[in-house]
Structure 1
Amino acid sequence: MKHIRIILCLTLLLAAASAAARVKYTVNDAWRFTKGSPYNAFLPAADDSAWEVVNIPHTWNAEDAVDDVPGFYRGPAWYRKRIVLPADAASKQVYLCFEGANQVVRLYVNGHYAGKHTGGYTRFVFDITKYIVPGGENLFAAEVDNAHDPDIPPLSADFTFFGGIYRDVSLLMTDKVHVAPTDFASPGVYLSTPEVTAERATVEVRTLVANDGPETARVRIEHRIVAPDGREAARTEDTAEIAAGSVAEQLRRGITIASPRLWDIDEPNLYRVLTRIVAEDGRVLDEVSNPLGLRWFSFDPDKGFSLNGRPRKLVGTCRHQDYLGRGWALPDEMHERDVRLIKEMGGNFLRVSHYPQDPVVMEMCDRLGIVTSVEIPVVNAVTESDGFLENSVRMVREMIRQDFNHPSVMIWAYMNETLLRPPYTDEARTKEYYKAIEHVARTLEETVRSEDPSRYTMIAFHNAPERYAAANLTQIPMIQGWNLYQGWYEKDITGFERILDRLHAQYPDKVLIVTEYGADVDPRLHSFSPEQFDFSQEYGLVYNRHYLSEMQKRSFIAGSSLWNLNAFYSEPRADVVPHVNNKGVTGLDRELKDTYLFYKTVLNRTPQLVIGNRGWQNRSGADDGTGRCTQPVPVFTNQSSVTLTLNGRKVGTKRPEGGVAMFDVPFADGENRLVARAGALTDVLTVGFRLAQASPERFTGLNVMLGSPRYFDDREAGLAWIPERPYTPGSWGYVGGEALRRSGAGWLGSASDILGTKNDPVFQTQRVGIESFRADVPDGTYSVYLYWAELDAARQREALAYNLGADGAQQQYTGRRFDVSVNGRKVLENFSIAAEVGFSRAMVRKVDVIVRDGKGLRVDFGRIEGEPVLNAIRIYRNH
């Protein structure tokens, strides 16, 4: 009984000791919010009753950054929240912790100014102890401002700078003696592994202990290393005296772990280091936990990347923190899912770009075995000012100290495409700018290496090697990253492999990583004659198969991170989905594109089989005269052969090439059941197919995009749009004219943002100089929908720098008027699209017509000024 009482007393003491340790919880809910700068918003007495109530994560640009009005709100906004703190906060140190807010934050507590943070992507902490009211209500007021500031990177970029407190806010309460959270919002404990082999590992722990009490504190600092299986691997303790009002650094070297379980891509073993601050009377004053991964790695200019002595090819993605309708305001679980998507794809590398991201991202990379590179947002350009350099250096320190303990991090990066568009044309002034940008790069390189000599450094360049060489940037980092888009922004896709070989020959002592490559893919668009810049699923597959194959052939390419895991918002963009960069292998809503399925097939060792084009919801095609329409279907598998059947009948058996087998499938009108079999694997896909028929004997409906070889899946209306074709008697098609091609580039259609529609691809192509559209349909009553947008430009728009000159010039508008007649009846006279609705705006005219005497349906275009055009036509039979 005596022993039981002793055990009970010890349990109670331990419980009391734990209760004295730190408490941290989020305060995300029900903040009051308003844009602008209301008078005295920082004061408790200010009236915020009419303000909007929002939950954090939050952004104020979720709507205006994706509407048809150019630009989005960049300026100040205010958040206010009242929080009742416990009475025992009087004996605590109290902090308010932000995981991310864009981009300048000023915090007020109960009307008192508590501090400022500059930069939109790193974490920051305010000590609010002296401003709080313990046991009472406290008013937190934060001004957040995302206005452009030339001293704060990024200055410009191919992504939207969403304003707001878009990551968690937490309240942290600690004992007066505690592990300091104020060293650039780091965990206050830094773990290093100066020696790791398969036989043994040594660990060093540097701890920052703060004493905010009035007297010197005599404490014991304990470190307990817990192995992945939960057993204790090592334990140390040291005593220290911490002077009042100071932060002391305690360094513990020589902690040895025998036969370590290594952190690796395939087996990401994680240790935990539990650090305790214990008072002389045995009370636990503070306790924190940090991840520890035991591994060694290297990069070689010829052999690439090795982890724990084993060569590994790094293949993965970059990632932006966007989601459909949310901007950057994502909860933790959505960040988690994104990292799982990379792992499930077979990826082993994440370039966290172009800025540090939510802490959950790094935690997931640690847990799943994904090697990472993290970078600060010095993108596109620099400002030649002390302020810009100071902010950049501080961002580097924040990034490194906050993510220092993550074993997945092996590269620190600090610049991306900074010479994409040099701001000067004068040669002498350009040389000065090059010197300034070199100074920034060398300062950041020195800062990184002094902060963390154990990891590698990297700058990402774009395909203008001569510029970066002229600025001496190519020799500065340990790793050269190259963002390459041959076959997308540049015509010849085979130029990709040539530049890889050229760069290796030119820089034989430098490690090379392909930090970006990609093609925009809209999963609503398909083409069976895919081409550069057509945004189709099929060209995206052609592009990615080529790039991966060429990189896998070259051992000197240490790794690659395709651009991008997900589609993301970029407000100035037009393209087929305005305000969105669609290069993600998943969509803004994380729909898996065929490019994702391809990588999942070829990168995974486990057997894979999946029929492609799964998201093609409204599929159609023209009758080939047999009552069927034959179209190609990709099947992705890493097995030796695959057999495909259609409605129980064998289509064929093929050996996949590079993970893909293409089958020509004769679709019939109605339900088509595809079954793929490869070894023990089976995949099934049911396709609802609409056979487009227009002949004197039969009509099922026509939705045709003019000037286009593409198919378009209108998911909102459930319409299937098909490509144009020339008219032949007894069928349907256009007469005369040419498909619109962008001058200079020769790309299909226009890249204009078509106002007034979400179906931009329907309006971005057209047949110029069309004479007629004919359909030899049966007698009856029909509705003919004529689709137009004036794609010539009233004025030339500024080219986007990140399109690398690939915008393609619009034709200058010089006037366009024409007549439109349907079956000989003039329905539009002296018609001008621009006069009716303006430029790049969708317009649809519906015309009712009675077809009789077997004459079919005919739409004629009579030229008056300029060339007649038609973007699309829909023919619907009423009865």
Structure 2
Amino acid sequence: MKRENLNIGWKFYLEGDAGTAIMSHLQTVSLPHTWNDRDGTNANYRRGTGVYTRTLTVYKCIGASYYLEFGAAFSVAEVYVNKALAGRHEGGFSLFRFDVTKLLKSGENEIVVRVDSRDKEGIYPHTADFTFFGGLYRDVYLITASRTRFDLDYFGSDGVKITPALKDDGTAEVDVTAYVTNPRSDLKVDVALTFLGEKVAEADVPCENARVSFRLENPRLWQGKKAPLMYEARLAITDGIRKWDERIIKFGIRRAAADENGFTLNGERVPLRGVAMHQDRAGDGWAVHNEKRRQDFELIKEIGANTLRLAHYQHGRAVYDFADEEGLCVWTEIPFISGYDGGDENALAQLKELIIQNYHHPSIVCWGIGNEVTMEKGDPLPLLEKLDKEAHALDSTRFTVQACFSPEDPESEVSKAADVVSYNHYFGWYAGETEDNAVWLDDFREHFPRRALGLSEYGCEGIVGRHALFPRRGDYSLEYQAEYHEKMAKIISERPWLWATHIWNMFDFASAARDEGGVKGMNNKGLVSYDRKVKKDPFYLYKAYWSNSPFVHIAGGEKQARAGEKCVIKVYSNLPEVTLYVGKNAFETKKGDKVFTFEVPLKRVVKVAAVAEGCRAEAKIFRVRKKAEKGKGEEDLKYAKYTAPEGRFSIHDKLGEVMAKPQGEKLVQTVLEETARYMEERGRNLPKISPAMMRMASGMKIKRIISMLGDSVPDDMIARLNDELNKIEK
């Protein structure tokens, strides 16, 4: 099989609504390409049809077959060869191929690819908190293959399936199946397994039934970051002299599982602690070259993460290759997001492509079948059950997982649809206190002690350049982001039974509909900025928790403005002892664990340095004359106008105290029903309040719960609620 890269030499234009070009001339572009690289952070970014054309010169060989292979196109692609339709693909993230043998002619051929990024009924995703970048944003190839070849027509597979199984006695069994198109009785399939270039097993099998099983007595295991060792399978269709087709496929031998006590890899307890990641970058959108993908993995490697959640769709093949090599345990998923509105066939097709195309990657430990699918209207359970069943039919060696919307009842059938569940929780950011995460996690553990549990998303926004002397929730400051993650890192480290935790997000990413903190079109929850130039303070906090590479870091940056007579210098380090220098003099030495704080007298300009075991970080502190006053919290300011006579309730009281009164319990139920109707009129669902959420909410003030519901509770409803609470005696 020959692969010819077709990334260069394309002409491109955007179509208008009437199907005519809206550009005065064709652009010359190279792939990967997206037409949203500049407007992807704009609420009105272009979603429409882009047309790619090029001339392809082919000198056809007798008996050869030809395929066009596309790494991905968002979200619907129609491919034409010499004005004839070669095929249509629905779904914006997986590889697809079309057999164009009969459509190509010797000499010049016209290739036209129409890519439509508009929302389409029955094709996922529909809505999500990230930008959908239109285009041919991965590589394109022309494949030339023999008539007898490894199959190229089955959901983008390579025509080979390798299933390694680690046995209880320490041996391994490796099943190899080759799917051959147009098999011949005079041909055979040679199969050889190698490790570090040395052959460890081999066999030849008939072309018509190409399956063989090898037993390895002392297998070398893929051990995650500790030792990501892999084998190679080399397969060739041959008559003993000529090779008609061949494949070289890397795979790893390992066993992964999750239960109520956490995650195990090859029988060893390994708490998975890491990050989630989208595939876009500043200036590139989704059209990112693999060299830049490698840079992203270098940053993930630096922080010391051992797991990666690839959100919320299939990523490119190179991403999985990098994860294999770095020993990261990967959660990868399909774009079944936010809510259900049909599209079962498409969701199942995208799941098949995800699993079949990535089956051999040892880094992948689970298949994700949904993310926050109860956030909007519709019943997702039947589809979730189909997806779970299909995943196990395609792959019996991995478990399934889904990420549940925070209010989802742990007792619901939806939360149990996959083998394992993780929750997206943002207590401490969108609402509540960071400590509420610990309360919820412990409550789940107490009431469901036999179930595995993870955190699929947690995080808060920190806008580069935004600072606060007294950080608080909702201020988008880097200081609040650091304080939030300090608490979360500690909460997680104290709960090793969490099978996996994934920070949302490793990198800032585009979300065109957003307008938060004075920044449009961005989700700024990343530990690293969108352009990858700034590592925010929490990056170094988690490096202190996860990495063994010695370092020190002074939080707040190299130049900081502070007010007052004294200031607190915060240092992150994975070393046991840090000395702070003020000027040239040692000021104080402290022993600690990850986070070190020093209170330093503040002059006009203070130069400080943190030193530990040969590592050094420096900063300049500038004193400013601004009076340092701690402001009121966001909820205090917003709800200050709602008061109560003495001895009566108001929204400033705790829910549990109100519900202890019969009138209070009835009032709360009435308000919930009214809120549900209000949301339904606007096409949204009020999630069922689970017993776990109710137990946690009983200790919250009502104003905090209202804040958690956001715009689902309008001001007039809040006013009526407070008036009714005023009627109830304490």
Which bracket does the TM-score occupy, shorter chain normalised?
0.7 to 0.9
Q: Which runs of 5+ in 1 are unaligned?
A: 1-21, 242-248, 424-432, 694-722, 727-737, 748-797, 813-879
Counterpart position of 1:390: 345
**CA–CA separation in structure 1 for the residues paired with 2:636 and 2:373:** 28
CA drift of 1:60 comes to 1.1
**Cross-structure match for 1:97:** 69
Deviation at 1:604, TM superposition (A): 1.7
Q: Residues 740-786 of structure 1: CA distance to partner in whole angstroms, max 9, x if unpaired?
A: 95788679xxxxxxxxxxxxxxxxxxxxxxxxxxxxxxxxxxxxxxx
Corresponding residue of 1:237: 204
Q: How does 1:822-861 map to 2 (within 5 A)?
A: none
Given that 1:417 and 1:461 are in contact with CA atoms closer than 8 Å, whether structure 2 keeps it comes out as yes
Write the deviation string for residues 64-108 of structure 1: whole angstroms up to 9, x where unpaired. 2324xx3221111101111222x2545422111111110000000
- Could you say if the C-alpha distance between residues 260 and 725 of structure 1 is closer, same or farther in structure 2, counting changes exceeding 3 Å? closer
- Which whole-Å CA distance do the structure 2 matches of 1:567 and 1:516 have between them? 14
Instruction: Report if the CA contact (8 A) 1:197-1:296 is conserved.
Output: no
1:587 maps to which residue?
529
Is 1:304–1:511's contact at 8 Å kept on the other side of the alignment?
yes
Q: Which residue, out of 409, 417, 425, partners 1:484? A: 425
One-letter code aligned to 1:805: L
Of residues 268, 271, 274, the one that matches 2:228 is: 268
Match of 2:493 among 552, 563, 568: 552
Q: What SS is found at the alignment partner of 1:605? A: coil
- Structure 2 match to 1:648: 584
Secondary structure in 2 aligned to 1:533? coil
Q: Deviations over 1:508-555 (max 9, x none)?
A: 332111111001111312223221122222222221122222222224
Instruction: Name the residue aligned to 1:608.
Output: 551
Counterpart residue number, 1:118: 90
Match of 1:682 in 2: 615
User: How far apart, CA to CA, are the structure 2 residues paired with 1:79 and 1:739?
Assistant: 55
> Where do residues 302-321 of structure 1 align in structure 2 (5 Å cutoff)?
303-321=261-279
Q: 1:607 to 1:743 in 2, by over 3 A?
A: closer
Q: CA separation of 1:162/1:48 partners in 2, compared to 1, >3 Å: closer, same or farther? A: closer
Residue matched to 2:186:
218
Could you say if the C-alpha distance between residues 27 and 630 of structure 1 is closer, same or farther in structure 2, counting changes exceeding 3 Å? farther
Deviations 1:490-515 (A, max 9, x none): 22222111111222233333211111
Matched residue, 1:171: 142
Instruction: State the partner residue of 2:49.
Output: 76
Q: Is the 8 A contact 1:270 1:293 kept in 2?
A: yes
CA RMSD of aligned residues (A): 2.9
Q: What is the 5 A alignment of 1:771-786? A: none
Structure 1 residue 325: Cα displacement? 2.1
SS of 2:210 mapped into structure 1: strand
Give the whole-Å Cα distance in 2 for the aligned partners of 1:35 and 1:455: 42
Task: Quote how far apart the aligned CAs of 1:150 are.
Answer: 2.5
- TM-score, normalising length: structure 1: 0.70
Q: TM-score, normalised by structure 2?
A: 0.84
Query: How is 1:213-612 mapped onto 2 (pairs within 5 angstroms)?
Result: 216=184, 218-227=186-195, 229-241=196-208, 250-253=210-213, 255-265=214-224, 266-278=226-238, 280=239, 282-301=241-260, 303-383=261-341, 385=342, 388-421=343-376, 423=377, 433-434=378-379, 437-466=380-409, 469-470=411-412, 472-576=413-517, 577-590=519-532, 591-612=534-555
Which of the pair has the greater relative contact order for Cα pairs under 8 Å at 6+ separation? 2
Equivalent residue runs for 1:688-837 within 5 Å: 691-692=623-624, 805-806=709-710
Instruction: Describe the superposition over 1:166-186 as per-residue Cα deviations: whole angstroms up to 9, x where unpaired.
Output: 111122212222111221111
The aligned amino acid for 1:34 is Y
For residues 445-464 of structure 1, give each alpha carbon's deviation from its aligned partner in whole angstroms, at most 9, with x where no partner exists: 11111111111011110211
State whether structure 2 residue 119 is matched by structure 1 residue 148.
yes
1:108 maps to 80
CA distance in 2, matches of 1:261, 1:593: 38
Indicate how the Cα distance of structure 1 residues 526 and 651 shifts in structure 2: closer, same or farther if over 3 A, else same: farther
* 1:192-207 map, 5 Å: 192-196=163-167, 199-207=170-178
Contact 2:207–2:237 (8 Å) recurs in 1: no
Q: Secondary structure at the match of 1:571?
A: strand
Instruction: Write out per-residue CA displacement over residues 324-344 of structure 1, whole angstroms, 9 at most, x where no aligned residue.
Output: 122111011122222232222
Deviates more, 1:32-41 or 1:364-373: 32-41
User: Given that residues 57 and 109 in structure 2 are in contact (C-alpha distance below 8 angstroms), is that contact kept between their aligned partners in structure 1?
Assistant: yes
Q: Partner letter of residue 233 of structure 2?
A: V
Counterpart-to-counterpart distance in 2, 1:739 and 1:281: 81
Residue 569 of structure 2 is aligned to residue 633 of structure 1? yes
Shift of residue 669, structure 1, vs aligned partner: 4.9
Corresponding letter in the other structure for 1:675: A
Paired residue secondary structure (1:232): strand
Q: 1:190 to 1:584 in 2, by over 3 A?
A: same
Spell out, residue by residue over 1:195-231, the C-alpha distance to the aligned partner (whole angstroms, 9 max, x if none).
Answer: 34574211001111123xxx9463110111110x221
CA distance in 1, matches of 2:95, 2:528: 28
**Number of equivalences:** 651
CA change 1:106–1:24 in 2 (3 A) is same
Q: Secondary structure of 1:224's partner?
A: strand
Alpha-carbon distance in 2 for matches of 1:320, 1:285: 39
Structure whose alpha-carbon radius of gyration is higher: 1
CA contact (8 A) 1:96 1:128 kept: yes
> Shift of residue 581 of structure 1?
0.7
TM-superposed CA distance for 1:606, in Å, is 3.7
Q: 2: distance between equivalents of 1:740 and 1:464?
A: 24
Instruction: Verify the 8 A CA contact 1:104 1:118 in the aligned structure 2.
Output: yes
Cα drift, residue 297 of structure 1: 2.2
Could you tell me how far apart the structure 1 residues matched to 2:231 and 2:548 are?
27
Structure with the higher fraction of residues in strand conformation: 1
Q: Distance in 2 between matches of 1:506 and 1:811?
A: 36
The SS at the match of 1:396 is: helix
Aligned partner of 1:708 in structure 2 is none
Structure 2 unaligned residues grouped into runs of 5+: 641-681, 688-706, 717-730
